[in-house]
């Protein structure tokens, strides 16, 4: 799978935004330093058997102490924007009330250094690391979460709003709901079944609306968005039951967030279950407009009818010939399909690809990491993105997941998504991979050759 050479790829538009993406719990470390309180992931990772090889977010990439070096790596790529997340329990340790000055000082420094390096900071308020204190009050299963998130959003804007004009509210509410509150594979580890998923998802959607309103009230002229995990859902076989399973999974995976945000509706198949949770006027709040959709894309979802699982849906065998080390299918055309859905079904909103990338088994022993498979993966997705642009999709930019190998949730440190290798056994030393140099050329020329 060597990169194809010597074909003429088109050039991306001049004003296309290039960037990289990370999240706080996955890179920062310093989990108990300078007043940071535990997040649900710090607590979850302490429970035996939850994370591969017993990995924890405690040190991660130690980005908290190495941020200058990491910004230099970003500068080396020539990127114009950086999406990171703010660790809520670092800045508001109990989730509400008292703020932690030392925590904010870190994000002040990060924002100032990014601006000095010519890189636009695009923070995301919430990338799955709820303060444990709020989990103890019910977390996303409580409607109080609406007030918690909007108060935190307001505080963030008061602190950083003079220098940050682009904000994302949530990361992948559906994934957080399904794996954190349905199956329990992610923190907070609640195996709450269908009810858990739909409650956690609806409350996040509501809280997102309230946070958007709080930010608009705080300041005018902000560009506000939220980040969705969007994957075309396809049935494993053509059978009726697999087809119906795909409709149900699409409803919870993509539509509940999209229909709610863009149309103020709930997908038909979810109405019976959600009926108990949705209150009058809820859909008005969910429909609070955004200026930008952040879209994370990794692959399609192939599903089948499987009684006993969430919504009686199980993972099916993907219709793909290539897979990453994580076992995810490589399906660049799915990116274009999803963008076309946004265009035709939701009025072609402005989209920033906020994550796209792949885990491969990189090994730096014996020289530089020659990660040709990752280069092929990224290039094939950028080519699919160009096809979508040619068909009129409103895509403003592309961010690679991720700058660094990092704490990959329940997989611990076993899955590496970085353009830069991190030696977790040796002072978290950073070693740029071949994909880093490749991406630098793409950013510089606008051509994904």
Q: Judge contact between 276 and 209, C-beta under 8 A.
A: no
Q: Judge contact between 295 and 216, C-beta under 8 A.
A: no
3-state helix, strand, coil in the chain (%, to 5): 45, 15, 40
Residues 302-321 that bind ligand GBH (CB under 6 A): 302, 315
Binds ligand GBH (CB under 6 A): choice among 100, 150, 296, 356: 296
Q: Up-side HSE of residue 400: CA atoms within 13 Å toward CB? A: 31
Which of 122, 32, 41 minimizes the C-alpha distance to 85? 122
Binds ligand GBH (CB under 6 A): choice among 171, 288, 356, 410: 171
- The least distance separating ligand GBH from the CB of residue 299, rounded to whole angstroms, comes to 4
Phi, psi of 82 (to 5 degrees): -140, 125
Binds ligand GBH (CB under 6 A): choice among 129, 172, 250, 259: 172
Given the residues 172, 355, 373, 408, the one annotated as active site: 355
Q: Is 174 in the site for ligand GBH (CB under 6 A)?
A: no
Which lies closer to ligand GBH via its Cβ, residue 21 or residue 376? 21
Binds ligand GBH (CB under 6 A): choice among 301, 330, 385, 388: 301
| Structure tokens that stand for 10 in this block | 């088109």
Which lies closer to ligand GBH via its Cβ, residue 74 or residue 359? 359
Q: Edge to edge, what strands does the sheet with 233-235 contain?
A: 233-235, 301-305, 313-315
Which lies closer to ligand GBH via its Cβ, residue 39 or residue 302? 302
Which of 3-11, 63-71, 74-82, 295-303 is the region at the interface with ligand GBH (rule: CB under 6 A)? 295-303
Q: Give the three-state DSSP class for 226.
A: strand
Which lies closer to ligand GBH via its Cβ, residue 216 or residue 414? 414
Q: Is 299 in the site for ligand GBH (CB under 6 A)?
A: yes
Q: Give the three-state DSSP class for 73.
A: helix
Residues 89-128 that bind ligand GBH (CB under 6 A): none
Q: Is 28 in the site for ligand GBH (CB under 6 A)?
A: no
Tell me how far the alpha carbon of residue 109 is from its chain's centroid: 23
Binds ligand GBH (CB under 6 A): choice among 123, 408, 416, 449: 408
Binds ligand GBH (CB under 6 A): choice among 41, 140, 167, 298: 298
Which lies closer to ligand GBH via its Cβ, residue 315 or residue 346? 315
- The least distance separating ligand GBH from the CB of residue 409, rounded to whole angstroms, comes to 6
CA trace torsion 259, 263, 265, 266 (10° rounding) = 0
Q: Judge contact between 193 and 182, C-beta under 8 A.
A: yes
Is 58 among the residues known to form the active site? no
Which lies closer to ligand GBH via its Cβ, residue 298 or residue 377? 298
Strands 223-229, 292-296: parallel, antiparallel or unpaired by DSSP?
Answer: parallel
- The least distance separating ligand GBH from the CB of residue 184, rounded to whole angstroms, comes to 15
Handedness of CA 185, 191, 195, 201 (dihedral sign): negative
Q: Which residue blocks in 264-347 are alpha helix, DSSP H?
A: 271-274, 282-286, 332-346
Strands 223-229, 17-21: parallel, antiparallel or unpaired by DSSP?
Answer: unpaired
Q: Is 380 in the site for ligand GBH (CB under 6 A)?
A: no
Is cis: bond before 107, omega within 30 of 0? no
Q: Is 235 in the site for ligand GBH (CB under 6 A)?
A: no
Check residue 411 and report its DSSP letter: G
Binds ligand GBH (CB under 6 A): choice among 329, 334, 349, 412: 329
The residues carrying an active-site annotation are 355
Which spans of this chain sit near ligand GBH (rule: CB under 6 A)?
23, 26, 171-172, 175, 229, 296, 298-299, 301-302, 315, 328-329, 355, 401, 408, 417
């Amino acid at each position: 799978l060597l990169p194809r050479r010597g074909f003429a790829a088109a050039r991306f538009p001049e004003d296309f935004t290039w960037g990289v993406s990370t999240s706080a719990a996955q890179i920062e470390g310093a989990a108990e330093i300078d007043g940071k309180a535990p997040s649900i992931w710090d607590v979850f990772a302490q429970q035996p058997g939850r994370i591969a090889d017993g990995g924890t977010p405690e040190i991660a990439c130690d980005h908290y102490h190495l941020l200058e070096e990491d910004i230099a790596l970003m500068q080396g790529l020539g990127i114009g924007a950086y999406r990171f997340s703010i660790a809520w329990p670092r800045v508001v340790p109990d989730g509400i009330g008292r703020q932690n000055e030392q925590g904010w000082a870190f994000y002040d420094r990060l924002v100032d250094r990014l601006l000095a390096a010519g890189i636009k900071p695009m923070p995301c308020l919430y990338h799955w690391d709820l303060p444990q204190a709020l989990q103890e009050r019910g977390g996303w299963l409580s409607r109080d979460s609406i007030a918690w998130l909007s108060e935190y959003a307001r505080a963030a804007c008061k602190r950083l709003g003079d220098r940050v004009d682009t904000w994302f509210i949530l990361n992948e509410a559906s994934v957080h709901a399904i794996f954190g509150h349905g199956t329990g594979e992610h923190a907070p580890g609640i195996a709450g079944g269908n009810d858990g998923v739909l409650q956690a998802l609806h409350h996040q959607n509501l809280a997102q609306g309230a946070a958007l309103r709080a930010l608009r009230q705080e300041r005018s002229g902000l560009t506000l968005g939220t980040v969705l995990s969007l994957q075309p859902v396809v049935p494993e076989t053509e059978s009726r039951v697999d087809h119906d399973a795909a409709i149900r999974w699409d409803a919870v995976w993509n539509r509940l967030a999209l229909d709610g945000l863009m149309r103020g509706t709930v997908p038909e198949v979810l109405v019976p279950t959600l009926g108990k949770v949705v209150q009058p006027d809820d859909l008005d709040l969910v429909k609070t407009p955004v200026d930008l959709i952040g879209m994370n894309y990794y692959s399609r979802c192939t599903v089948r009818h499987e009684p006993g699982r969430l919504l009686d849906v199980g993972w099916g065998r993907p219709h793909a010939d290539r897979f990453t080390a994580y076992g995810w299918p490589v399906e660049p055309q799915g990116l274009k399909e999803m963008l076309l859905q946004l265009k035709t079904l939701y009025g072609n909103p402005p989209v920033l690809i906020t994550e796209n990338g792949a885990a491969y088994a990189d090994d730096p022993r014996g020289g530089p990491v020659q990660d040709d498979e990752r280069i092929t993966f990224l290039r094939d997705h950028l080519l699919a993105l160009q096809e979508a642009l040619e068909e009129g999709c409103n895509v403003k930019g592309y961010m690679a997941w991720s700058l660094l190998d990092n704490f990959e949730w329940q997989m611990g440190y076993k899955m590496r998504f970085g353009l830069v290798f991190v030696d977790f056994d040796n002072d978290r030393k950073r070693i740029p991979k071949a994909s880093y140099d490749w991406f630098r050329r793409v950013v510089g020329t606008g051509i994904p050759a």
